[in-house]
Structure 1
Amino acid sequence: MRVVFMGTPDFAVPSLKALAEAKYDVAAVVTQPDRPRGRGKKETPPPVKETARTLNIPVFQPLKIKDPDFISLLKGLNPEVIVVVAFGRILPRDILVLPQYGCINVHASLLPKYRGAAPIHRAVINGEKVTGITTMYMDEGLDTGDMILREAVPIHEEDNVGDLHDRIASLGASLLIKTLSLIKSGQAPRTAQAGESSYAPMLTAEDERILWDRPARDIYNQVRGMNPWPGARTTMHGKVLKIWRAAALEEDGSASWPGQVISSGTDGILVRAGTGRLKITELQLQGSKRLGAADFLRGTPVPAGTALGGPM
C-alpha cells in the first residue's frame, strides 16, 4: 500500500517507524512547520520530521492544510491510504476523500471517550484506571469516525504521563500495522462509536496551576498528569514552584488553610490540601534544577507554616 503519513510529535514516531519496518511504501511525510523552542527560541523541527529524514522519506510542512497547492501535491502523490497520528490539524473533506482506502487515524484513547488534543494527559489528570488506543476511519468531525480496532491499556497508580505515553505510542504503532493489513485484505471491521463521549481539550496554563483547596488525590493526579510536561505549578515566596512527584495522604493534619506546609523533612514536604495532605517528593523552584525533597531542602528551607499558592 502506498501511504502518506501525517504526524508531528514524539507520539507519532513509533507509528512512522513501524510503517518503514513493515516495508510500506511511504511516499511522503506531512508534519507541522518548525517552531521556536527552548530558551534561545531556536527553530526546531518536529520529531516526525527528524525521523523521516533518517528514513529518507520526503517531508512537507504546509502552513495551511487547506491550501489548494498542497492538496494538489497530495493528489500527485497518489496515496492509497493516508495515516494520521497526532498531526494536530483537522483535515478538510478534500483530503479525507482523496485516498482509495480513506484516512486512518491512530487515537490515544478508547473512543468515544477523550476525543480531542490531550487524551493521555486528561486521562491521568482525571484519575482514570484504563485508557487505550483506537484506530478509525476519519470523517469531518473531531475524532468521531467509525472505529476499526481498539485495545485497552491499564493506568497504574504510579504512572505519569510520560510512562503512559510511551506504552500507548508503542501499542498504537502495532495496532496501525494490524489495521492496515485488515484494510488491505478487505477484512477490517467498521463500528460506529456508541456510548458516553467526552473531550480532552488542549492543555492551558490554568491546567498547570495547583488549587490547594482541592482534594489531595486530585492534586496528586494533576501532578502525574503534568509530568514530564508541562509540570504542575504553584508559588512560594513569589516564585514559581513546579511539583514533579508527590503522594496523596488521606489525613488532613494540622494546618490552618489549604496550601500551608505542615512539615518538611528528607522524605518530603507535607502540605495541607482541601481534604487530605500532599507529600511533595520532587520539586523545582524557578531558575533552579529539579531536585528530590532532601536535596531541595538543603538549599531552600521550607519551614512549617510556609504558604504555597497565590498569584502566578
Structure 2
Amino acid sequence: MKVAFMGTPDFAVPCLSALIEADFIDVVGVVSQPDRRRGRGQKLKPTPVKKEALKHNLEVFQPEKVSTPEGIAKLESWNPDVIVVVAYGQILKKEVLELPKYGCVNIHASLLPKYRGAAPIHRAIINGEGKTGITTMHMDIGMDTGDMILKEELRIASEETVGSLHDKLSEVGASLIVKTLDKILKGTAPREEQNDDLATYAPKINKEEGKVDWNQDAKSIWNLIRGMNPWPGAYTYQNGSLLKLWASEVYDLQGTNDQVEVGTIVKVDNDLGIVVQTGRGKLLLKEVQPASKQRMSATDYLRGYQIKEGNRLGE
C-alpha cells in the first residue's frame, strides 16, 4: 500500500515511524508545514515530522498551501493509495480528499464525535473527563466529521497533564493507524457515521484561558492547571507579579468560607506547599514558577519568597 503522509508536530512523529516500519506500507512522500523561525535567535527550524522523514531519506514537500495546483500535482506524482493526515495544520480541499484510491484517513485525539476541533487533549483534561482516546476516520470537508473507522480508549489518570496524555495518545495513534490501513487494504475496515447530535467541540487554546479564576471550585482549577501543562500554562498573580501554576492537588472539597476571600492563602506549609481558598473547597499548590524564574516546588518557593497566610493570589 502506497501512503503519502501529512503531519507537522511531535504528535505525528510516532505515526510516521510506525508506517515506515510496517512491512505492507510504502511511504512515498511526506507533506509538512513550512519551516518556521523559532527561539531567541529566530533560527529557521524544521518541523518534527520533516526531521523524522529525512532520517529515512523520504521526499518532503512543504507548501504554504497544499490544496493548490502545485500541491495537487505533487501528490498526484506520488500516486498514493491513501493519504494519512495527522495534525498537519491545514484544511484540505475536496480535490485532495478525493485524490487517492482509499481517500484520506485522519488520526484524531478524541473519541469522536466528542471533542472535534483543534485542542481535544487540552479540553478533555480541563473538562475533567475520565477517559479519552484515538479515532481513525475517513476525512470529508467538515471539521472532524468524517465516518469513523477504529477507536481505542484510554483512561485519563488523576495525575495526567496535557504533556503526558499527548505522548500516550500519539503512541496509541501510531498503533491504530497501522491496524486501520491493514483493514482498509483487506476490505474489512468498519465504517460508522458520526452522530452529530452527540458532537462536542474543542476550540484552539489561547494563553488567556490559563488565568485562574479563584471563584471556581478547587476541582475545576485543578483540572485547568493539568490541562494547561506544559502549554500555555495556568497562571495567577502574587502581589502584582505573574505566578505560573504547574502542579496542584485538591486539598478539600468543602464549601465556601464567607470569612475568607477567594484566592486567599489559608495555609503555608514548608513540607506540603501553599493552600488557597477557592469558590468551593481549597487547593494545594505544589509546583509554581515566579516571573523570570525556573519552575520550582511550592516548598522551595516558600523558602525564597515572603509568603504568609492571609496573602491573596489574583489581580
Secondary structure of the corresponding residue to residue 307 of structure 1: coil
Corresponding residue of 2:234? 232
Corresponding residue of 2:55? 54
Count of aligned residue pairs for this structure pair:
310
How big is each residue's C-alpha offset from its partner over 1:115-157, in whole Å with a ceiling of 9 and x where there is no partner?
0111011000000001111000000000000010011111111
Amino acid at match of 1:236: Q
Distance 1:70 1:255, change over 3 A: farther
Is contact 2:207–2:233 with CA below 8 Å preserved after alignment? no
1:263 has 2:267 as partner: yes
Corresponding residue of 1:116? 117
Distance 1:245 1:263 in 2: 17
Gaps of 5+ in 2: none
Distance 1:305 1:151 in 2: 47
Is contact 2:32–2:50 with CA below 8 Å preserved after alignment? yes
Distance 1:259 1:41, change over 3 A: farther
How big is each residue's C-alpha offset from its partner over 1:264-312, in whole Å with a ceiling of 9 and x where there is no partner?
22211111111111100000011000001111111112111222112xx
1:1-312 to structure 2, matched below 5 A, reads 1-23=1-23, 24-194=25-195, 195-248=197-250, 249-251=252-254, 252=256, 256-266=260-270, 267-310=272-315
How big is each residue's C-alpha offset from its partner over 1:142-176, in whole Å with a ceiling of 9 and x where there is no partner?
00000100111111111111121111111111110
Amino acid at match of 2:262: P
Amino acid at match of 2:266: I
Distance 1:188 1:7 in 2: 23
TM-score where L is the length of structure 2: 0.95
Secondary structure of the corresponding residue to residue 34 of structure 2: coil
TM-score where L is the length of structure 1: 0.96
Distance 1:62 1:255 in 2: 60
1:255 Cα deviation after fit? 5.8
Indicate the larger mover: 285-294 or 19-28.
19-28
Is contact 2:6–2:88 with CA below 8 Å preserved after alignment? yes
Distance 2:309 2:239 in 1: 14
Secondary structure of the corresponding residue to residue 109 of structure 1: coil
1:35 Cα deviation after fit? 2.2
Is contact 1:223–1:245 with CA below 8 Å preserved after alignment? yes
Is contact 1:236–1:308 with CA below 8 Å preserved after alignment? yes
Secondary structure of the corresponding residue to residue 235 of structure 2: strand
Distance 1:118 1:198 in 2: 12
Secondary structure of the corresponding residue to residue 144 of structure 2: coil
Secondary structure of the corresponding residue to residue 152 of structure 1: strand
Distance 1:210 1:111, change over 3 A: same
Distance 1:202 1:255 in 2: 38
Is contact 1:91–1:140 with CA below 8 Å preserved after alignment? yes
How big is each residue's C-alpha offset from its partner over 1:206-261, in whole Å with a ceiling of 9 and x where there is no partner?
21111111111000000011112221111122221110000112135686311111
Secondary structure of the corresponding residue to residue 286 of structure 2: strand
Distance 1:308 1:39, change over 3 A: farther
Indicate the larger mover: 182-191 or 228-237.
228-237
Is contact 1:253–1:277 with CA below 8 Å preserved after alignment? no
Indicate the larger mover: 1-10 or 32-41.
32-41
Distance 1:60 1:236 in 2: 47
RMSD between superposed Cα atoms in Å: 1.4
